[in-house]
Structure 1
Amino acid sequence: MSRNAIPDAAERDQASHVHVSDPTADRPEVLGATGLLKRYGRVTAVDGADFSLRAGEILAVIGDNGAGKSSLIKCLSGAVTPDAGEIRLDGQVVSFEGPIQARAAGIETVHQSLAVSPSLDIAANLFLGRERRKKGVLGTVFRQLDHRGMRRDAARHLDDLGVLTVQNMAQAVETLSGGQRQAVAVARAAAFGSRVVIMDEPTAALGVKESTRVLQLITDVRDRGMPVVLISHNMPHVFEVADRIHIHRLGRRACVVTPQSHSMQDTVAIMTGALPPPEQDAS
């Protein structure tokens, strides 16, 4: 069955039980979670959720509004503390008391709001919270920042990702286009994320051309060996770049599929509950 063909009921039922060999199955888990639970009063946002990100892959996380995927990602990135369950990084159980601890462990998150400071220049945004001081007495006593060194390294990080449209590292971020701002945020995550990069709706507010460039940035990060978690509502983008697709429903993982095993229509049907999840998923 073609990935984009519209299946009838019998084909959809058959597709839900297809099992295709997963090319990432033999890769080690980098970031994982088991039985995560997060409640906000009487509302259960994450209800015993499992998660598994493998080395060198792009794992898309999709789900309907209110499915709990944002709360899941917040647990993994240290933004919130789960009420129960465990989180593993390289096989070791970890507990983050905040995003700073997650960042120190090598987990970088690019939020939908980008979390950039528009009035600061590109280099200052790239090193925000990690500013470097000058060597010697100028840095230790007078606490002067090494602006020249940070701008030089910022240019190198952007060049490593193939971002050629931004050349002046002293340029204020507020003067950049949406795609260029996203490139700065992605470059910051790629530069300092030593284990995992999490991207939350990176193309939500971008046009077609800028979205294409950001998707290329995501694959470039993956190709450099960094596993990527991509949260997105844009199914064509998901099917374009994802190695596996984590389908989140009703606060937990319904299943994990691949673009080779399930069509876009089947994946959306599982996400909305119109189609039962496969008996044997790709996780």
Structure 2
Amino acid sequence: MRIYRSGHPDVPRDLNLTELLHQHAGKVDLPNSHLIAKDDVNNRSLTIGALRNRAGRFANGLQKHFQPPDQARWMMVVPNSVDYVEIIHSVLWLGGVVCPVKHTLVVGETAHAITVARPFAIIVCTSEGSKVLQAVDVAKKELRSQDVAWTRPHIVSAIEHVVGIFHFPKDFLDYTPLPIPHHQDASTRVVTIHLSSGTTGNPKGVELSHHNYVANCFQLYHHDPAQWPPNLRQVASTPYVHIAQMMPAAFFGP
């Protein structure tokens, strides 16, 4: 066990994750060529420079296609992949909230996740599309029985393209990025809604803010800079949807 006595880092309250993507929490400024993710799903790789460029352009494409309200909820039913990382940062860039759901859940479990998140849109890997559509119908009936108003979500495919359905990333890469957002208080801006483990009942929604994630990044660098160097390599066998995996998978890597 290690006991920390090094105080606390100064964490700006007005810094969001899109701004942090273009900066760095530690003292080493990574070059744009720095590799941050590789996958065996589509055999893709991603550098921090490409993510900085593509996430803003995807955000602009999503904005033009769907015109979502601020803090709209985007459910992700996608396996660990480069696409996963790009989707997260694109949604956050346009002011959205990511609701990650494990893609291997059965219809009933996915339906419950939908009733909790009530998403504006669902981005789903193609292989799980039929299951998710069934889950949407189940969730709609459940919410109606509770007199909860909810509009059927937009459906976007990922990983493999499906004719007749908008596909990420194919259909959303705009020529120019959205402006980088800025908010005076990042603690009021929700980043993710996770499902709890459900050990004492049905899983519940847990909200985390930009400030939660930014503070975590700064704390990791502050307490253990030698443990998180630029040449760090991580193999992720657990799903990114797990709340403990979201930090290194989507936000801490840059």
Q: Bin the TM-score by the shorter chain.
A: under 0.3
TM-score, with structure 1 as normaliser: 0.23
Flag the structure with higher helix content.
Answer: 2
